[in-house]
Structure 1
Amino acid sequence: MSVATRFAEVYGHDPAGVWAAPGRVNLIGEHTDYNDGFVLPLALDRRTRVAAELARGATTVRSSREAEPVTFAAETVAPGEVTGWAAYVAGVVWAFRQAGLPVADLDLFVQGDVPVGAGLSSSASLECAVAVALCELTGTGLDLTEIAHLARRAENEFVGAPTGGMDQMAAMHGVADRLVFLDTRDDHVELIPFALATHGLRLLVIDTRAPHQLVDGQYGARRADCAKAAELLGVPALRDATVAAVESLTDERLRRRARHVVTEDERVLEVVGRLRAGKDPRAIGPLLSASHTSMREDFEITVPHVDVAAAVAEEAGAHGARMTGGGFGGCVIALVDAEAGDGVTGAVTAAYAERGWEPPVVFDAVAADGAGRA
């Protein structure tokens, strides 16, 4: 049943429209965004859809995944007042208001197919879908980057998740068959060709079913380590450091954290260079695998579920595989020949069964367009 139909069922009238925003998969560039570095995500063809209409009185938010609605007042809602999934909605309204932009109470119904808790930015997808709906319904003209910034502020300051800006920028700037190459220092975006089907390739997303949580202190701890390392190195951010300088750090933990970020930036630039030059995407496989090793050994954000998935995918023929997302669970991506996809999926599923783990969910990542009217 469509989100517009569900809206009409619960509110008794049709919505003014339906807006949608994609989840994202980060091809490479993990934990570089809040270090002023480089990232290379793609907008997924899995989306959060929001049916919306101006409301009289309070804002009411309903979701196909939740039994009870959540209400708040657009003109007064403040951090801490709304928690859980609806905080991402309330946070967007609050961020608009804090920026001096018009807000209005809305009737909203949320529905989507971005997996929740898998590290595919379901939260940014929801934020951006609500933001583009709010823009249109209030007649507010903002560009894609401005909307992304407001959505990020909602997540950082209202929800309390200290994420970088990659997720929202990918959700807003995505284009079909393109990667979003983002310099997080100045928010410059370049779209990089990534039409895998023309090369006989697929990018598998392996949802390991290991829960992915960012508001539990681990993400913030890594961010604090990076800030401390940059301070010790005397640079504005780790994006400005060199591997040689990082190796001079005497604190082993900070040295490893910084080494991951600096080498990850190098890997992003190398992947972009190869794809921009029109090389066969298979050539980026080893860089994806090196990224996973760095996340496991230096940044220490992987867990057994993702390590097994990445290793088994490569053993089964993947050109490269890595965890994607903030870490401590979530998804692995594997670059595979089109005909090898089923074999890789079967091998990972069998490996999970041997360990008594819940079967993974595997689907293709297809680069899609960013947020807008559905």
Structure 2
Amino acid sequence: MAAELPVPVYTSLSDVYPDLVLAAKQGARFNDLAAEYEAAFGTKPKYIARAPGRVNLIGEHIDYTLFGVFPAAIEQDILIACGPRASQDPGHVEAHNTHPKYTPQSFAPMLLSTASDASTKQDQEVNASVDVQSWHLDINPKELRWESYVKAGYYGVLNHFFDPSTNPSAHPVPVNILVSGTVPAGSGLSSSAAMVVSSTLAFLAINNKLQGEEKIKKGKLVQMAVENEKRVGVNSGGMDQAASILCTPNSALYITFFPSLSAELVSLPHTSTPGEGVVLVCANSLVVSDKAVGAKTRYNLRVVETLVAAYILAKELKLTLPPSPQGKPPTLREVLSAYIGKPEPVETDVLKDGLERLLNEIDVLRASHLRGEEKSTEGEDGGVTLEEMIKASGLSSEKFHEIYLSWVDVEATHFQLYKRTKHIYTESLRVLQFRELCLASSSPISASTSPTETFKALGTLMSSSHTSCSQLYECSCPELDDLTQIALESGAYGSRLTGAGWGGCTVSLVPEGKVDEFIGKVAGRYGKFGGLGGDALGEAIFATRPGVGAFVFELTD
């Protein structure tokens, strides 16, 4: 399993990129970054941590409900060169960025004392509380700066490997870092996750936590990166981090999160005839979408809506849910598990059958039903107010706020429980159908089905996904809707938004032999591409294939 493999540390890029042309291209980038690092700090870097962005082929906004998703790593990435720094302050960081708009930053973690309940009877007899020290880095999620993502990655390393309560003599190494990246910020290609993953890797590497007995596995790194990104105010489900860390070339990942993290490498359909396959084309809407900035009315609000919907759906269907770990509220995936009534993990055909049956039951979440109206209206569902939602849950106002609102900042007049649930369950079904098509295309019996038919079927699922994201989950925007329509009219088999939405990128499935023609048509019709040319246009719309996941490159003399 990919999650059980150790995080790779390479000393030769030819081990990462077997293709000589690609190895030479990437080698030039790594050499240039090492030279810039030496110019900035006067010494050569010891490591370069690399984490790619990702494109989600299908399965949007369902990872935090614990349903499987289908992403792939892309060539665009974040690189962080790092080396030890001469400093008397433990863990002091001097952080530079190759982009001129990001100014150099200097910071160091601090040990702060906090009061904690006494842990032993003897402690209790002496004092009601004891002082506990913990590391602190200043991160303001309401006013994000580029170094906040660096600090977020650092937090995980401090918490996991430098706990002062268990190892008071251990201190992090002072470090110089230089950040460079080609993943456009706010594009929906997961630049934030790539930044946090590469930061986490850089601090692990410089503190010798990727070798010997402490060498961590990829699955553990995914968990750390998910927790780290929460430091910047984003309640991520883990898809972005898993794709950035676990992916391999020429494959996508079917990632599941329930009952535990699991990742299956799945080859995308291909043909034996050069030029007759498909490639992925990413197009940036040029509408910047920052998950953290609009979280309370967008991303985090959707998390709350799905969690409340899960609780009320289980209540309406009289399902018995097992206690969630650490008192966390149940997810829509856990509701499905209770509805199926079989021990997890279940086979995908059982999961599909359960989804299809449960979709016939979700009308109980319509606003009219929750208000006690006699007839459930079809069409547009206006949602419910906070008061109506609390009443439908059967919880007291205090208990409801404690479970669903005390840990997150959201803002809404109406909460859309039915529409969000319908998207989650139909999108999860599309992911399973997408996976089946990919697996079938690589089996011997697939010879009876033409590759074009498979590509069209995959494209149809992608386009249906976008419609659901736009109409049910309301995470699209006019520019993304326009861009996907232009892509379909320009020859794509299918097109959809990818990432959190509300801006960012689309991904289109395009015939391999028509990529240049396709890009030319889209560039000519999408208004925001007007006036772009050369490198600027190449950064806004580009073809890519599934690439390698995160790794650390160790520089040797």
TM-score greater than 0.5 by the shorter chain: yes
Distance (whole Å) between structure 2 residues aligned to residue 166 and residue 342 of structure 1: 30
Q: In the aligned structure 2, how far is the partner of 1:103 from the partner of 1:119?
A: 33
Question: Of the candidates 307, 312, 327, which is equivalent to residue 227 of structure 1?
Answer: 307
Residue of 350, 364, 387 corresponding to 1:248? 364
Q: Distance in 1 between matches of 2:55 and 2:106?
A: 31
Distance 1:269 1:358, change over 3 A: farther
Q: 1:290 to 1:113 in 2, by over 3 A?
A: same
The equivalent of 1:203 in structure 2 is 280
TM-score by length of 2: 0.64
SS of 2:253's equivalent in the other structure is strand
Distance 2:207 2:530 in 1: 48
* More moved, 66-75 vs 135-144: 66-75
- SS at the partner of 2:187? coil
Q: Is residue 269–residue 438 contact of structure 2 (8 Å, CA) maintained in 1? A: no
- Bigger shift: 329-338 or 95-104? 95-104
Match of 1:173 in 2: 246
Confirm or deny: 8 A CA contact 1:39 1:184 kept in the other structure. Answer: no
* Matched residues, number: 372
What's the CA shift for 1:176? Answer: 0.1
Contact 1:74–1:104 (CA<8 Å) still a contact in 2? no
Q: What residue number does 2:156 align with?
A: 95
Pick from 438, 447, 461 the counterpart of residue 287 of structure 1: 461
Aligned to 1:301: 475
Q: What is the CA distance between 1:81 and its match in structure 2? A: 6.3
Contact map agreement 1:79 1:91 (CA 8 A) in 2: no
- Partner-residue secondary structure (3-state), 2:95: strand
Identity of aligned residues (%): 27
Unaligned runs of at least 5 residues, structure 1? none
Q: 2:217 aligns with which of 138, 143, 147?
A: 143
Give the secondary structure class of the aligned counterpart of 2:224: helix
Aligned partners of 2:430, 2:140: CA distance in 1, in Å?
41
Instruction: Tell me the C-alpha RMSD between the 2 structures.
Output: 2.0
Give the direction of change, closer, same or farther, for the CA distance of 1:260–1:197 in structure 2 (3 Å limit): same
Aligned counterpart for 1:192 among listed residues 262, 266, 272: 266
Amino acid at match of 2:229: E
Aligned match for 2:60, one of 3, 13, 30: 30
Q: What are the residue-to-residue correspondences of 1:62-73 with 2, within 5 Å? A: 62-65=96-99, 66-73=101-108
Retained in 2: the 8 A contact 1:310–1:321?
yes
Q: Which amino acid aligns with 2:137?
A: A
> What is the identity, as a one-letter code, of the residue corresponding to 1:181?
Y
2:434 alignment partner in structure 1: 271
Q: Does 2:516 match 1:329?
A: no
Task: Report SS of the residue matched to 2:69.
Answer: strand
| Structure 1 residue 47, shift from structure 2 partner | 1.2
Q: 1:341 aligns with which of 498, 512, 515?
A: 515
Q: In the aligned structure 2, how far is the partner of 1:10 from the partner of 1:368? A: 30
- CA–CA distance in 1 between the matches of 2:197 and 2:172? 15
Q: For 1:100 and 1:14, locate their aligned partners in 2 and report how far apart those are by CA, in whole Å.
A: 26
Which of 1 and 2 has greater Rg? 2
Q: Residues of 1 paired with 2:200 and 2:139: CA distance?
A: 20
Richer in strand (by share): 1
Indicate conservation of the 8 Å contact 1:135/1:142, yes or no: no
**Corresponding position: 1:86 with 2:147:** yes
Give secondary structure in 2 for the equivalent of 1:93.
Answer: helix
Contact 1:74/1:105, CA 8 A, preserved across alignment: no
Local SS of the residue matching 2:180: strand
